[in-house]
Amino acid sequence: MLTIRRAERDDAPAAASLFADYLAFYERHPDPKAVTEFVEARLEAADSIIFIASDGASAVGMAQVYPTFSSLAMGRAWVLNDLFVAPSARGTGAGRALLRKVRDDAEDEGCVYVALETAEDNVTAQRLYESEGFEHDTNRHYAKVIMR
């Protein structure tokens, strides 16, 4: 049975393993120790919220959101930065369940929206997001890489 819950500190190894696989999907391959330290720091500082999807005893997916505020909407908002399901669990509904948990918890916490983005060629993710009511906006997003 699939369950979705917020990660706690003792979930760091499972969350870090899934996060490392997520980074590899986007062709990022940092040192495994750095990945673990990053996840542990997020959980310790509580500056992100990590959700874990489990199928029995195994963690099969994760989502990470960063709480923020919207000046234009004058309210809380969440940025869903990371959503990943292990290849062996794809097609089980884990991604959809994670997305719905993020949406539901954001609503429960009074957020005015959940924002996310994905790669232009990640049509599987785009179909999921659109089927759950997320809309592609027309804003231009800019980024300046400061450090690699």
| CATH number reported for the structural domain that contains residue 30 in this entry | 3.40.630.30
Range of the domain at 17: 2-131
Is there a domain that residue 145 lies in? no
- pLDDT score of 148 more than 80: no
Is there a domain that residue 146 lies in? no
- pLDDT score of 30 more than 90: no
Packed helices 32-45 and 12-25: angle between N→C axes, nearest 10 degrees = 120
3-state secondary structure of 41: helix
Is there a domain that residue 62 lies in? yes
- pTM of the complete model: 0.93
Is there a domain that residue 147 lies in? no
Is there a domain that residue 22 lies in? yes
Terminal Cα-to-Cα distance of the chain (whole angstroms):
40
Is there a domain that residue 66 lies in? yes
Model confidence pLDDT, tens digit, residues 48-65: 999 999 998 899 999 999
- In terms of DSSP bridges, do strands 58-70 and 49-55 run parallel, antiparallel, or are they unpaired? antiparallel
Is there a domain that residue 139 lies in? no
Is there a domain that residue 33 lies in? yes
Q: How far apart are CA 10 and CA 29, in angstroms?
A: 24
Instruction: Please count the structural domains in the chain.
Output: 1
Model confidence pLDDT, tens digit, residues 97-138: 999 999 999 999 999 999 999 988 999 999 999 999 999 988
Q: How far apart are CA 67 and CA 34, in angstroms?
A: 23
Cβ atoms of 98 and 85 within 8 Å: the answer is: yes
